[in-house]
Chain A
């Protein structure tokens, strides 16, 4: 099945460390997104990419960077992790045409990475 995968699924790190979260997809979608989920705050967009050469900041990009290595791969980096970056991180993909599902811009989410910064 076409899927969205994230690695690692869980990560504990220390303040000041550099960490990379990886996302891969086999859906053939051009659009990819990174979100963080915090209790009571919902899902907030960190970065998004509409194709390999297109990278855009979301609403909470400070402290994060991304790399779109290929259509299928989109990585999120924390250059110097801090405790308030402790959260659940999700990668998502979409096909805005909705041809496959009939739903405009349906986003398909990976299983998430639980990151703890001590």
Chain B
């Protein structure tokens, strides 16, 4: 049973466009929601994260929107660039354990 569900599985965006990846969770004990970015042949690396008492967090072109009542959160990548092409994982933390979503493979065409 996947406690964190992520969509879409793959996404193709033109350079300069907005990429949006969505996640939903079930466990209300989750207390921290990070996004990880993974390039081919590499391990995932933390991109941006949010706590559930905040509705939005922005770092450069990356923004997390968080809706606690709906148990949903999303990653927005503004002005998407070819260098953003990677696999993105949402995750949720409980007791220092992360539960990951299924992943989204993002391709940004030049």
Contacts and interface: CB of A to CB of B under 8 A. Distances in A.
Interface of A: 4, 31, 35, 40-45, 48, 50, 58, 90, 92, 94, 96, 101, 103-112
Given A40-B9, A111-B41, A106 B96 contact: no
B96 A42 contact: no
Interface of B: 2, 6, 9, 32, 34, 41-46, 49, 51, 89, 93, 96-103
B49 A111 contact: no
A14 B7 CA distance: 35
A84 B101 CA distance: 20
Contacts of A4: 43
A42 B46 contact: no
B100 A104 contact: no
Contacts of B103: 40, 42-43
A109 B43 contact: yes
A9 B101 CA distance: 24
Given A104-B49, A105-B32, A42 B43 contact: no
A112 B45 CA distance: 12
